[in-house]
Amino acid sequence: MHTGDEYFDSNEFKAILAAYEEAVSKRQAIFMDTDDLIDIADYYNMVGLRDKASAAVDAALEFDPSATLPLVYKAREALAEEDIKSAKDIADEIIDKDDYDYKCLKAEIMVAQDSIDEAEAYLNEVFPTLEYAEHEDFIYDTAGMYLDYGVYDKAYEWLAECSDPDGEECLDMRGKALLGLGRYTEAVAIYEKLIDKSPRTAGYWVSLANAQNQSESYNDAITSCEYALALNPHDASGLFIKASSLYRLGNFEQALEYYRRYNEIAPKDGYGELNVGTTLLHLAHYDDALAHLRKAERQAQSASSGYLSQIHEAMALVYSSLGINGKAIEYIDMVPIAEDDAEECVEHLVVRGHILLEAGRASEAEAMFRKAVIKSSCSPNVMLRVIVSLMDNKYTEVAYRMFKMYFSTFPNTTDGYAYMALCCWEMQNIDEFLFYFKKALTYNKTEATTVLANVVPGGIGLNDYLNKIISANNDHDKSTGIAS
């Protein structure tokens, strides 16, 4: 059995696939090696033809009902459907319990049951019994299995046993493990090393972009995506990460363009529709946003997706922005408060508070905001979002007082100065507006560009506008300077 795109691109595999497809099209009996049929199934799975993959496995079992590889394949299909009982039953049908693939499957079933310690004990028991030539494959197969199940710490530990730690396969898998562990700076270093080795591998650029996006280096992530897309313009992950990075920078128009391109490639992915809808919400295109969010809702419901709550939350925000408060409350009430996930819970509490505030239910909104701040251990990000919600809902003086407390509590923050400048602008407090405008340009120009877009006239840079206001202020002609 072979794996990987290189083999599937080889003339040898193409000849085997052509012979198989000719036999299927003519409804002829298929007499092929079991390993070749499993390679064909792997290929079909890779290109998304799951029914054809299953048919190839069935053909292998018809040829040899006791063959290990097809049974392992079937068992793994069952695991993918979270049907552990069926996977165990199929595994029990395998005659050769000393077979390498059976041992890997047995460990995978343990991991699927979340019996990580049991799996580790078994794997460490098996490893010394293998032929020396199998050791490296076993390390990679074990690490790959752990990566598939999100057990990133164990994957990383197994990869430490690689005989060639600087080899591309080992580095790539270590990079994936580091991404999963949230060690983004280390992942960036890994993928930069891989790109030095193979600069024309689009996947490495995408993984680098992912690590940069996660570490909030959005401009770097966009650059990496551009390299990836130059190599493969239809790379779905490259399009998605670039869209996400543009969105994080507040460049919603361009983000929308790339989310739409992603949707063209992955039209059945409701998560793509969710992101289009959310971006349209930020652009205040509310009717279009609702259309995409409804489509995302249909797709998520049919796929039993885990992001339905995010869709309902976004729909609640759209209805709230439209002033349809009853509908907004109806949709936000559909979203359960995930008490077991602190980050998700805090996010929901902030959104719920904002919607309640827009509906005029200030005391209930205050309770949500207070709970979010406490649950986040007074996170500066959460406090800032609460204050911005107050600003959006015209509680300008309250927001101003809270900003004073925020900057006093977090004197080293780089966030919030542009919002405070906007708050001072609305209060016609020009001296403080200038003070916080300068700080915004010094500490967070991205935030300044996004937040102060409606204050700065089109075609004038932030620095130029600031200098213009300072000059007008010095000439005691504040009203003319501000109005220009």
- pLDDT per residue as tens digits for the range 175-202: 999 999 999 999 999 999 999 999 999 9
Alpha carbons within 13 angstroms on the beta-carbon side of residue 350 total 22
What integer pLDDT is reported at residue 344 of this predicted model?
Answer: 77
Give the orientation angle of helix 325-332 with respect to helix 342-358, to 10 degrees. Answer: 160
* Residue 468 pLDDT exceeds 80: no
Q: CA angle 114-117-122, nearest 5°?
A: 105
Q: Has this prediction a pTM greater than 0.85?
A: no
CA 191 vs CA 185, 188, 239, 414: distances in Å: 10, 5, 18, 29
Q: How confident is the model at residue 60 (pLDDT cuts 50, 70, 90)?
A: confident
Residue 357 tokens, joined: 């505030």
Write out pLDDT tens, residues 273-305.
999 999 999 999 999 999 999 999 998 887 666
Mean per-residue pLDDT over the chain, rounded: 91
Task: Give the separation between CA 228 and CA 209, rounded to whole angstroms.
Answer: 9
**CA-based end-to-end distance of the chain:** 72
- Cβ atoms of residues 328 and 317 within 8 Å: yes
What integer pLDDT is reported at residue 26 of this predicted model?
Answer: 85
What integer pLDDT is reported at residue 4 of this predicted model?
Answer: 52
* Residue 98 pLDDT exceeds 70: yes
* Residue 478 pLDDT exceeds 90: no
- Cβ atoms of residues 279 and 259 within 8 Å: yes
* Residue 474 pLDDT exceeds 70: no
